[in-house]
Amino acid sequence: MRRRTFLASAAFTASLAGCLGTDDDTSTGDTSTDDTNTETTASTERNGEYETNGDFPPDEDPADGYPPEFDDVPNERSIDTDAFETNTQNGVDVPLAPIDVVNYWYRRGEARIADARGEQQFDTSHVYGAALSPAWNQDDSDPVRDWPESDRIVCYCGCPHHLSSVRAASLIDAGYEEVYVIDEGFWEWHERDYAMAGNDLSETPFGYAVRGRTDARYGGEDIWARHEPSGQREATSIDSDGRFSVTLRFIDVDLSDPIVVETPGYVVEAPLRQLADKTVTADMA
C-alpha cells in the first residue's frame, strides 16, 4: 500500500447522494489541484487545467489514481472490510465502502481511485487524483490496467454505485484482489467538499428520474441511459418484476435533449422531458 503526505485544508458538510435512488453517510475532507484524462484515457497529463477546492500541489502522476501527499494524515485505525455490504453485479459481489472509510484511505494514500463515469462528468468535477476509467469502455489506454492487482482500488460514480460496481466487478473478474466502490457515490463526496478538481466544481446537475418496465425475464440485467452527443451514461439493474428506475445527472443536458434508453428487450430514444414524465415501455420504441 502506498502512503503519501500533502498539504491539507479540511472542509466538510453533510447530506445528499447520487443517482439510482440511494442516499447516506458522513466524514471529513480535503482538497487539491490537477488531474488529467480523455474518454477512456486517464493518462494524458493536464496539470494546471483544473480548479481545485483547496490550495494543493499539482498531481505529478495523474494516471496512478493517488492524490499528492498529505502532511496532515488521519491516525491509523482498524477497518473491518468484512462488515461492508455488497452489491451483486454480473454475478460478482462488490464491497460497498462507506464514504468516510474511503476518505480515510484516500487521505492516508492507501487506495487508488478510479472514476467510472464519462469524460465530460470527470472534467466538470472529480475526486482529486482519481484516474478516469469509464465503466463501459476499458481499452489499452485505461491507466487502471497498469495498476498492480494487489493494490487497493476504489471505484466511484454518481449513481451512486451502479456504474462503479460495473467497473469494480470487471476488475475483480480480471484478478484484482481488493476492489471497492464508494457506497454513497461522488455527489456525497462533492457535498462534503472533500478533495476535488475540475472545470466547474460548483456544478451540481439536477437528477431526473427515469422509470420504466420491460419483461420480467430480464430481471437482474442492466438498462443503460445515454446522451449520445456527450457520451454521458448511467445504468441500473432491472428488478425481478421487470421494472427499473435510474436518475440521470448529466452535465449540460436539459429536458429537450434526446436520451437513449436501452434495455435487453427494446431501445427508446426520446427527449428527457418525455422519458421523465412517463413510464418507459416497449410501446415507446
The pLDDT value recorded for residue 123 is 96
The pLDDT value recorded for residue 87 is 95
What are the 10-residue block averages of pLDDT along the chain, 285 residues in total? Answer: 35 32 36 34 48 87 91 93 96 97 96 97 96 89 94 96 97 97 98 96 96 97 97 96 97 97 98 97 95
pTM over 0.85: no
The pLDDT value recorded for residue 38 is 33
Parse the chain into domains and list their residue ranges: 51-198, 208-284
* CA 45-158-162 angle, 5° bins: 110
Q: Do domains 51-198 and 208-284 have the same CATH topology?
A: no
The pLDDT value recorded for residue 1 is 46
The pLDDT value recorded for residue 25 is 37
Given a contact cutoff of 8 angstroms between Cβ atoms, the answer to whether 210 and 280 are in contact is yes
Among the four given CATH numbers 3.20.20.120, 3.40.250.10, 1.20.120.450, 1.10.580.10, the one describing domain 51-198:
3.40.250.10
CATH number for the domain formed by residue range(s) 208-284: 2.60.40
